[in-house]
Structure formats: structure tokens, C-alpha cells
């Protein structure tokens, strides 16, 4: 089993119930599966129901990962991979002043990736902004 945590999460949902997030503005809906309710059952039957939930959880994960040609990866790992990828696509983002209504003369152009941070050369930024007029920053000082 390649993703035990997800299989356990699914089997817990089978036992305790799931919550559907709702559709197009409707409220979230709890989904309780009666076949996994074990209150009042003898111990042997409870164990059988629990084992069935575990097997179903593992089977669903296997179906997604093997038949679906997908791999389940945690959110933290995905965020880590996005930041760590030095070859991630970079895009140029122009930073404009409010008075540059035509968006023709940006204050700065930043090169950004999927990272949640933008790191730039502070000296270059300060020198570039110092050359601009405080009254109308999109214009250069004369």
C-alpha cells in the first residue's frame, strides 16, 4: 500500500460518515453509510465491518493510483516541490503606479515563479525608484 494515510482516512470516513461539500451554493451534507454502523453489534461482526472498511479504503487508493495512473501526494509535499523546482516556469509581472492609467510605464517588472515569495535586488529596486518623481512615480526625475 503506497498511501496508507489516505486509505485510513477513507476507511474512517466509511465508518464515521463523510461530509459532501455541497453543490452550487447548497449546504454541506453529511453522508452516513448504514452498513458501517456497528452500535449494538456483537464484537465479531464489528471486527468484520471494520476490516471491510479498511479493505475498501485500501482498494480505493489502489484504484486511483494504479488504474487512474495517478499518485496521491500530500499538500505539503506539492507546495514543497513547487518551491524547490528551479526550472519552474517564470513569468513577468509588471508593477504599475495608480497614475499610470494606460499601464504603459511600469515602476518595476518582477520575474516570479510558483513560489509564495518574490526575492529581488533591493539596491537595484531602491536606485530605480529613487530615479522617479514622487509627485508622479511613473515619470523619471529630470
How is the chain split into domains, by residue range?
Answer: 4-72, 87-130
Q: Residue 138: its pLDDT value, please?
A: 67
Banded pLDDT at 11 (limits 50, 70, 90)? very high
Q: Residue 108: its pLDDT value, please?
A: 80
- Residue 81, H or E segment: helix 75-84
Residue of 32, 4, 38 whose CA lies nearest to 18: 32
pTM > 0.85: yes or no:
no
Residue with more model confidence, 71 or 41 = 41
Mind listing the pLDDT tens digit for each residue in 74-126?
777 777 776 666 666 777 888 888 877 788 878 888 877 766 777 777 888 88
Amino acid at each position: 500500500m503506497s498511501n496508507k494515510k489516505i486509505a485510513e482516512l477513507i476507511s474512517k470516513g466509511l465508518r464515521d460518515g463523510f461530509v459532501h461539500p455541497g453543490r452550487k451554493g447548497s449546504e454541506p451534507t453529511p453522508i452516513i453509510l448504514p452498513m458501517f454502523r456497528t452500535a449494538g453489534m456483537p464484537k465479531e461482526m464489528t471486527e468484520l465491518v471494520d476490516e471491510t472498511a479498511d479493505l475498501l479504503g485500501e482498494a480505493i487508493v489502489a484504484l486511483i493510483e494504479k488504474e487512474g495512473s495517478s499518485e496521491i501526494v500530500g499538500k505539503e509535499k506539492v507546495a514543497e516541490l513547487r518551491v524547490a523546482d528551479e526550472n519552474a516556469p517564470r513569468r513577468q509581472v509588471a508593477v504599475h503606479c495608480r497614475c499610470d492609467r494606460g499601464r504603459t510605464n511600469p515602476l518595476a517588472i518582477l520575474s516570479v515563479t510558483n513560489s509564495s515569495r518574490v526575492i529581488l535586488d533591493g539596491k537595484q529596486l531602491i536606485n530605480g525608484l529613487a530615479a522617479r518623481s514622487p509627485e508622479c512615480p511613473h515619470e523619471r526625475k529630470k
